[in-house]
Amino acid sequence: MQSQNIDLIRTLFQSRLATLKHLLESAQTHFCDDESFLQKRLAADMLPFGTQIAFTCNQPRNFALWCDGKPANNLDPDVTALAQAYEHIANTKELLFGAHVEEAKLAEITRIDLGQSLYIELSGHAYVNEFLMPNFYFHMVTAYDILRMAGVPIGKRDYMLHLVPLIRKE
């Protein structure tokens, strides 16, 4: 992704957020609007599905804020209602759409505060490729895995939703 255009990064985040919304809708249908699925988790020491939604959204959200020269601002991780989960996704997509994206941003050095007085400094390229993208996919895959474990009838096609329009038949 070294030569990837920064606007393509925004487009990638937008399309994957549509997939996240699709996964949430699939779970909502499967559980017949019973919001308790937002508290399901893969293991006792892992965060629940609702938190995975917030953490997935935090990556493109903080990308958009970074593009606009604003500090990172994570969403409330305590997602206990469907309306809140959908709002996180919609607000993140809107923030991404309105972000002022410039390629020069990738050359800047970015400081990421990790808490407990810890931080790392990365180039813009490394921030996107080594921090945002891995975290984004980690939390999105964890959300997908929680739903699969809970019996939601989704598969790879649902996860790779962004490729469905490209499918052709001979």
Helices vs strands, H then E, count in the chain: 6, 2
* Alpha helices by DSSP H, 99-152: 124-126, 133-149
Residue ranges per structural domain of the chain: 6-166
Q: How confident is the model at residue 4 (pLDDT cuts 50, 70, 90)?
A: low
Please give the single-letter amino acid code of residue 95: L
Q: How confident is the model at residue 1 (pLDDT cuts 50, 70, 90)?
A: very low
User: What are the pLDDT digits (tens) for 13-34?
Assistant: 999 999 999 999 999 999 998 9
Q: Decide if pLDDT at 3 tops 80.
A: no
CA distance 48 to 147: 11
Q: What pLDDT was estimated at residue 71?
A: 93
CATH class of 6-166: mainly alpha
pTM exceeds 0.85 for this model: yes
Q: Average pLDDT of 154-160?
A: 94
Among 5-9, 63-67, 92-96, where is mean pLDDT lowest? 5-9
